[in-house]
């Protein structure tokens, strides 16, 4: 599956003005690639990820195609089905439900759609893969920040996605936990999962096949170089 993004723009209308967050962003991600998206705060990086997934609707004339299937012209129900089958999302703030165990949190995205015993087996295997085999019956309040992020990764993988969209996945982590998350993402990418990652993390910028730099919603560069610009330190 190849992702093609063409002329993607996003404008918000505020009470005082029209604010263009993204302006004519275009790139492609081939099967098995890792794309790193860098830029200062407020440059539109997170909005770009949400537009790519269909969770945010971009401006008219934008195009997001997975192979030859145009995401943005389909009905919301079809977009939701596509996300459920093909996209995983990792958040900086984890977004775990405090009232549920780590195992249940991992299963939740597919609970209405697949047999519970199948999901439990898959979630258990994923939690062991991310090093949480002994923590799966704990609730999020009993986990460290690094453990919460790894739980979030396991949850994002429950649907065996082709594309893993990561919004600052190491932003709240110390160096040790950051490195562990990076190794997990590298392992997934080596296994064929496409990675699209938004980051300020200088170490994270050194990984991936291509880098896109955004500034105030504009695409400054697109190349195969690994991002290592110390300008983007947060």
- pTM for the whole thing? 0.89
- Using left for φ > 0, alpha for ψ between -120 and 50, and beta otherwise, residue 57 falls in beta
Mean pLDDT of 135-148: 96
Report, in angstroms and rounded to the nearest whole number, the Rg of the chain calculated over CA atoms. Answer: 18
Cβ atoms of 57 and 22 within 8 Å: the answer is no
Q: What is the DSSP secondary-structure string of 156-184?
A: HTTT--SEEEEESTTTT--HHHHHHHHHH
* % of the chain exceeding 70 in pLDDT: 94
Q: All domains of the chain, ordered by start, with CATH?
A: 3-98+153-223 (3.40.50.300)
Q: What is the pLDDT of residues 189-223, one digit of tens each?
A: 999 999 999 998 888 888 999 999 999 899 986 55
Banded model confidence at residue 225, pLDDT cuts 50, 70, 90: very low
Residue 233 has pLDDT above 50, yes or no: no
Mean pLDDT for the chain overall: 91
What's the CA gap between 232 and 207, in Å, rounded? 15
Looking at the DSSP bridge assignments, the partners of residue 198 are 37, 167
Q: What is the pLDDT of residues 51-82, one digit of tens each?
A: 999 999 999 999 999 999 999 999 999 999 99
Banded model confidence at residue 234, pLDDT cuts 50, 70, 90: very low
What's the CA gap between 65 and 79, in Å, rounded? 12
What pLDDT, on a 0 to 100 scale, did the predictor assign at position 223? 56
What own/partner pairs with CB < 8 Å and gap ≥ 24 does 188-191 have? 188/157, 188/164, 189/32, 189/34
Q: What is the pLDDT of residues 102-129, one digit of tens each?
A: 999 999 999 999 999 999 999 999 999 9
Cβ atoms of 139 and 99 within 8 Å: the answer is yes
Angle at 126 between CA 123 and CA 131, to 5 degrees: 125
């Amino acid at each position: 599956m190849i992702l093609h993004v063409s002329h993607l723009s996003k404008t918000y209308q505020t009470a005082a003005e029209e604010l263009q967050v993204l302006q004519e962003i275009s790139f492609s991600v081939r099967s098995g690639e890792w794309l790193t998206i860098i830029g200062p705060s407020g440059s539109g990086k997170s909005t770009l990820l949400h537009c790519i997934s269909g969770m945010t609707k971009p401006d008219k004339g934008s195009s997001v195609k997975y192979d030859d299937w145009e995401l943005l012209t389909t009905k919301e129900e079809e977009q939701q089905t596509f996300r459920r089958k093909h996209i995983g999302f990792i958040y900086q703030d984890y977004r775990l439900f405090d009232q549920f165990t780590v195992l249940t949190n991992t299963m939740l995205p597919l609970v209405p759609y697949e047999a519970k015993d199948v999901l439990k087996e898959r979630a258990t295997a994923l939690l062991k893969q991310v090093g949480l085999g002994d923590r799966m019956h704990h609730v999020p309040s009993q986990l460290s920040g690094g453990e919460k992020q790894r739980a979030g990764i396991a949850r994002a993988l429950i649907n065996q996605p082709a594309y893993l969209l990561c919004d600052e996945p190491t932003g709240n982590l110390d160096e040790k936990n950051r490195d562990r998350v990076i190794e997990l993402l590298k392992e997934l990418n080596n296994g064929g999962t496409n990675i699209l990652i938004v980051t300020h993390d200088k170490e994270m910028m050194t990984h991936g096949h291509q880098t896109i730099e955004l500034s105030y919603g504009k695409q400054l560069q697109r190349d195969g170089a690994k991002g290592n610009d110390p300008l983007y330190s947060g």
